[in-house]
Amino acid sequence: MRAILGLAALNGAYAVLGVALLWAIRGLPRWTDVLRLAGLGYLLGVAAFGVVWTQLLVVGVPLGGWGVVLSLACGTAAAAFAAVLLGRQRPRGFGDPERHASPFAVLVTAAGVSLSGLLLEALFRSARLQGLQAYDAWAFWVPKGKAIYFFGGLDEQVFTTFPGPTYPPLVPILDAASFHAMGGADTITFHLQFWFFVLGAVAAIAGLLYRHVSAWLLWPALLLVLTVPRVASHLLIPQADVLVDIFFVVGEGADRSHVLATMARLRAHGLAADTDYAGRSKKGQLTQAARLGAKTTVVVEADGARIARPGGDEPTTLEDLAASLGA
Amino acid sequence: MFRRWFSAGIATRRLVVLFCAAVLLVALAVRYPDAFHDANETARANAALDQVDRAVGAGNSVFPDQALLVEARGLIPPDESFAVAVGPPQPGWTELTANGADLFLRSFLLPRRLDPEARWIVCVGCDRNDYPGADAVWEGEDGLSVLRRES
């Protein structure tokens, strides 16, 4: 229970920081604006915290429990101070003069909120007792978070010898902050942090589109996004790369270093490329590619590579593949 | 009302919007119950596991016996380091044991650091003759053990 309360407090603090930033950036004339943009504020708070701590860790500032508290408190105070300096009015009153909802829209909104709430409640129970299962999560995302939590910074051994050493540390920083909030590296309850991200994202999308899209279009679309298999099955997995553009299946005798170099080129051009690090069989790797929903699956053998297509494989080389994708 | 809705000029656009909304609702009617059911099933399955199964997580797929992980975490003090020695595959190992044991142990045993010269050795089917003077502090099946040598 203490761990859950700690996580709730941490995520509440992210939201307060983000709302203060929004107040400074655009002003929040009414309390309904605060409520409407609380989700966006939460995501802004999470992003600001992660970006600032990425820079602080790079210059050697240790991330500890007090560091998390102080950075959130100072960030919020600085944003509020900026809002006052910029002459932003304090939020006053309720109601939304720019939106006159019909009874039908209110009904649809109530149904949408209820259905989203039901699904989120089920996801909460699912995350509450979830063990660490996803390969990338236990192989490097969470160990990096643990390293920041235990050692206070970008530990050289963990950040250079675990897979994905070039990945940005934003997610591990958020993991480490959640470990501090829970009072320990509890990799079970920690999945609730990702539930909070889902909650924040739903609130942000609904809040941003509320004034611009009819309720009968907004809520079915939002619910469908939450329930499509590719998203629903990945919502609570503690890793950053939810979507995979290209998955490399590496066969026996293939030059793995060549594959890794190609992946680095693709990643440098913003493509999410992944491969197997767990010694799976070729069949297992193909299953993994399908499970990750990879847009393109490339099978690399000792004598060449081919792109897996439903109607038949297409021969290629890693150079041609990278060039065709602009890398 | 319908005449106004489908008046010339905007009828096509409105029909497209209605079609999209209909497709959306049908998709939602199919997907929502499935997603809700899946989330509940996962919650039920997670609740049915014991605390060790949850804590070990993917380690259950990597190691033939989770006791090694529990014992290693209990025996090796958090401020000490450990070495991992993996031998040839043995009957009872999963297809991930040989290649995944080292990485999983490094992840699972943090803040204990990996050091080939460490006093503690997590032996996964290793040849104990390679570690003369090391005593087995814990021994399991399938070649799993935790060794400690004099520092």
Residue A75 confidence (pLDDT) above 60: yes
Contact A221 B24 (CB under 8 A): yes
Among A41, A91, A27, smallest CA distance to A207 is for A41
| Angle (CA) A219 A223 A225, round 5° | 120
pLDDT at A326: 64
Contact A143 B31 (CB under 8 A): no
Contact B57 A187 (CB under 8 A): yes
Residue A124 confidence (pLDDT) above 70: yes
Give long-range contacts, CB 8 A cutoff, 24+ apart: A251-255. Answer: A251/A282, A251/A299, A251/A300, A251/A301, A251/A302, A252/A282, A252/A301, A252/A302, A253/A301, A253/A302, A254/A300, A254/A301, A254/A302, A255/A300, A255/A302
Tell me the per-residue pLDDT of A38-63, one tens digit each, with 9 for 90 and over: 999 999 999 999 999 999 999 999 99
Domain spans in chain B, listed from the N-terminal domain onward: 2-48, 56-148
Name the least confident of A152-161, A206-215, A218-227, B91-100. B91-100
Residue of B35, B47, B107 lying closest to A138 (CB–CB):
B107
Residue of A122, A162, A224 lying closest to B24 (CB–CB):
A224
Instruction: Collapse the DSSP code of B7 into the 3-class scheme (helix H, G, I; strand E, B; otherwise coil) and give the result.
Output: coil
pLDDT at A103: 85
**What is the separation of C-alpha A99 from the centre of its chain, rounded to a whole number of angstroms?**
31
Phi/psi region, residue A164 (left: phi>0; alpha: psi -120 to 50; beta: rest), is left
pLDDT at B118: 92
pLDDT at B63: 87
Residues in contact with A115: Cβ distance below 8 Å, sequence separation at least 6, in sequence order: A219, A223, B32
Tell me the per-residue pLDDT of A167-180, one tens digit each, with 9 for 90 and over: 889 999 999 999 99
Does the ipTM surpass 0.95?
A: no
Residue of B42, B96, B104 lying closest to A126 (CB–CB):
B42
The pairing of strands A304-308 and A273-275 is unpaired
Query: What are the distances in angstroms from CA B98 to CA A98, A154, B84?
Result: 63, 29, 11
Helix (H) or strand (E) holding B144: strand B144-148
The pairing of strands A314-316 and B113-114 is unpaired
A122 close to B (CB below 8 A): yes
pLDDT at B21: 80
Query: What are the distances in angstroms from CA A324 to CA A23, A141, A259, A319, A321?
Result: 45, 30, 16, 9, 5
pLDDT at B6: 61
What are residue B118's phi and psi, to 5 degrees? -65, 160
Strand partners, B116: none
- Taking CB atoms and an 8 Å cut-off, how many pairs form between chains A and B? 120
What percent of chain A shows pLDDT beyond 90? 48
**What is the separation of C-alpha A193 from the centre of its chain, rounded to a whole number of angstroms?**
10
Token pair for A35: 């409520």
pLDDT at B3: 62
Q: What average pLDDT does the segment A149-157 reach?
A: 92
**Domains recognised in chain A with CATH numbers:** 2-92+102-232 (no CATH), 246-324 (3.40.50.800)
Token pair for B37: 């059911």
- Using an 8 Å Cβ cutoff, are B57 and A133 in contact? yes
User: Per residue of chain B (151 residues), what is the pLDDT tens digit?
Assistant: 556 656 656 777 788 878 888 888 887 888 889 889 888 988 998 899 888 988 988 888 888 888 999 999 999 999 999 999 998 888 878 777 887 888 899 999 999 999 998 999 999 988 888 888 888 899 888 788 999 987 6
Residue A193 confidence (pLDDT) above 90: yes
**Chain A residue with the nearest C-alpha to that of B34:** A227
Which residues of B make CB contacts under 8 Å with A? Answer: 17, 21, 24-25, 27-28, 31-32, 34-36, 38-40, 42-43, 46-47, 49, 53-59, 95-96, 98-100, 103-104, 106-108, 110-111, 113-114
CA dist., res. B39 & res. B32, Å (int): 11
pLDDT at A93: 81
